[in-house]
Each structure stands twice: as C-alpha cells, then as structure tokens.
Structure 1
C-alpha cells in the first residue's frame, strides 16, 4: 500500500474516522455537519487514495473490513493528535475572556455550582460559562467539556485531576411520609418501606443489601435518572431517597428516617485536559471550582 504525502487529505481521514465511530453515513454526516453525498465522496476518495476497501456496504449498515479495522487504530491516533493541536492552540490566549464548558451531574450543577459561579462572574465578568448538567461522563479529550466534575477518579493519563473534599450520602424522607408509614426501628422495618430510585433500582440492591437493607425492585414504585427530580419526589412524600448530606439537610421538611444506616461515601474529582490547564481562562475557572467545592 502506497499513499503519497501530497495525497493526504485530513477531511477524508476525519470522514472515515467519524463514519467508523457512528456506524452509518447518515449519522456521521449529521455529526460533521455535511451532506451524506459529500461524506460518501470523502470516504470513497480515501479508499481510492489508500487502494483498499474500508467498509462493506450492506442494506442496514456499514461494516469495517479487516483493512478498515487495522487502519482505524492509526486514524484514531491522528484524531487525538488533531484534538491536542486544537487544545494547545486555545492556550495561546492569555485574556480571561471566552467560552468555558463545565460538565457536572445535575445535582452538583443545581445545588453546588451557582454560588461559585456568582463569585466567578465578579472575578471574570467577560467569561461565557456553559454548563452540561448530566450524569453521563463527558469525554474531555474529544472536547465535550473543558472541565468536568466527577464522582470517580479518571483513568486517562492525558487528563489532570484534583481530588476535592469527599462527602457522604444518607437516607432522607419527608416528615409527612414518615408520619404516615411510621419511622423504622430496624433494618427489617426499613426494608418494608417505599424508596425513590435513582437510575436503575436493580443496580442499587446489592449496595443496600451490603448495609443490611434487603430490598427488591418492588420497593421502588418511582425511579428516575435525574437526581434533582428524585429530590423533589422525596420532598413530596413519594418515599425514601439517598441524598448528599448537604442537600438533604438544606430542607427542613426532610429527615433521616434511620440513623443506623451506614452512609455512602462520595468522592469528588475536578478534571481537565493537561493542555487546557495552561490556558488562563480554564485555569481561573478550575482553581475557583477547586476552592469553592474543595
């Protein structure tokens, strides 16, 4: 296989990479903001330049050929390098202006970030802050966020992480709900009550059992992927929820229904790309978040 340097076209390489990751031309075209025919021509042009077939085209999807699988590794390395160049370039600006994208869970974004951002607006009033309030982990290397607040240590060595203060999560329920069903006096009593689930309840059963509370999915009449909605359901008497102690204690209508329950430990990590840490506007936001949370 011979590929002349003059024949290299990054647009074709990117078209192949995104198509391989998305699994179809239509999805890749949407991701790149191109028309499907344009994207198809770019992929075909790359196949011609390389002299190989990269995809088997079926009626349902595109499947990578063996050559495509082998080359995908190298093109991903190229994609990471392109992202690194973009990251390094953003670090050239030393003015505390511009756009900073922060990723955090909806609970963290709603109840912990606002007072910190208010202070930030006074220190750097020209910054534009965008917040992704999601429980999905953002990929910083692909620039899905500049800074992420996570509850687990990142494993990617290309990222820089700072561990902030840990906290704990406790059981909370509305006083109205407990007045109606009675306050549990044992782990067995607790197992008879209704819980508000976060994400998929079945994923929490083992964790609860390790603390002496034997639940089934029947204990969870309501569940949600939103921690802020879970809090509201708990406040309105739908059942017992597990909340960060700072959040639960902020509402006088809530109380811990069973203090003998062993709290859950919650780690908090502040994460950014190594090159982004040298960017002044990112560093200002990073340091202020570290101070405010940690």
Structure 2
C-alpha cells in the first residue's frame, strides 16, 4: 500500500510507519464500509481515545474531501468527493474484506463484510510450515520423511527455496538430493526430521531451476463454444480479445487447472467450467507439469514449430 500526498500542509509520506498504518486503516474503512468511529481505531490498534481523535483529525487535514463527521451518530463517513490517498490493489483489499485484519495471535480475525471463500481442506501443520520457511530464508537443506502419491514413504534431503499455492494445496519448491532434480513437495506429506547446518550447494539454488526461471506467455481467450464471449471478457478483464499472462513454467499446469482453461488444440472441452481457451497451447511445450492442464496434448513434432522455442 503506497501513500500518496494529501492536499494539506503535511503529506502521508513523511509520517511514521505506525501513523501511516492507522491512516490507511481509516481510509480503508471509509472506502469499503462507508463509516468508522473512534472505537474502531481503539480496538484495532490498542491506542488511547485521544490518540484516535488525533489520527482522525490528521486524516481530515490530509484528505478533507474524503471524510465527513456525522454528529447524529458520532461516526466519520465516506466523503462525496472521495479520492483515495493510499494506493492498494483489489487483491489485497479482498483479502482484508474477507479475512479481516490480523491481530497477531490465534484469534480468528473477523471479516469486514459477509463473505464466503473456498476453504483450504487440509492446511499444512504450522510447525512444518515454520521449519520449511526458516530453511528457505537460511538457504539450508532439510532432512525429511516424505510420502509421495506413487511410492512408499522415503527419507530424503531437500533444499527448499519457495512456497507454491496451487489453489488446492500448498507445496514447497525444492531441490531433491535423492532424485538430483528440482520438484514440488506437498507440505502436508512432509515430516521434518532435522535441519542441516550447511548452505545449499551452487547447483541446488533456484537460479539453476530451469522450470522456475523460465516464464511462458499464456494467451487466454473466451471459449469459442460460448454464445456471449463478451460476458467472459468482462468477467476476466479481457479488453482486446486476449488476456496475456506471464507465469513460471514450474506452476503453469497448476494455474491452468485452477482457472479451468481448455488447453486442447481444437478447444474440444465442452463442459461448463471451461470458459477460457488457451489460444497458444504450444507455449506449454517443455513444461514439466503441462499434463495437469485440461485437454493438453503433447505435440507430435514440437521441434518443427517456432512456438516450441521460448
């Protein structure tokens, strides 16, 4: 969230971090719920009533058109000439609206509006997640016991470097010393044995993971079978007929599966969930998890196509 300059004598950029956080919260509540009171600031930040009053007065000084005081309810309300002073993405706004603002403990934060989001059916154990994250930050190997879908439980050493959200489960991208290759491991299948006090070797680092380093261009269009492609274009923010996305090869298959994109060369998937079609399926050539992309077919002679080279 980037603060912009306000119209008053002071600007949000020369305030302390704590002040900016409180002013951003004031603006968020005004913008998305239409009103807030001193109690909202007091409860959110644990500040005294006098401090809450000063913050509200400061916001009014910086952005007088954004806020008005309703004496009948003792609430501050959305201003009719509102112009946001802080820049925030829709993605971050939706997270705050649906999950609330965390309080730093085990209490479940309350959503600011009625909202339903898909539940993560099996979140990873917190201690496993914390241990993996520490190893990522320290660039250290982990000795683990892992249960894969196709084999018995095995012990191995991995060098983790990134978390991956597939939309269904959380994985960790890591170098696997047993297989001598980079791959994903499902966090719920990991039992950490111990952290190894050494640094990752040069060839085990993410810059040597070709699938992670490689980015591919996806050209998504409304599915040709649909009678009203303009509706799909509006749903997905397609403004010129094609939605262009760049993703890592290491996650492309997961993303296309999650988004329900028909990746068949002749757009032959007709089920209702396929509202988008991958216009350039050859871009998936050489992507290790392309098999996860709905309808994807490995080209017979990919080397003859200019699209096969990325």
User: What TM-score results when the alignment is normalised by the length of structure 1?
Assistant: 0.28
Name the TM-score, length of structure 2 as normaliser. 0.27
Higher RCO by CA contacts (8 Å cutoff, separation 6 or greater): 1
In terms of fraction of residues, the more helix-rich structure is 1
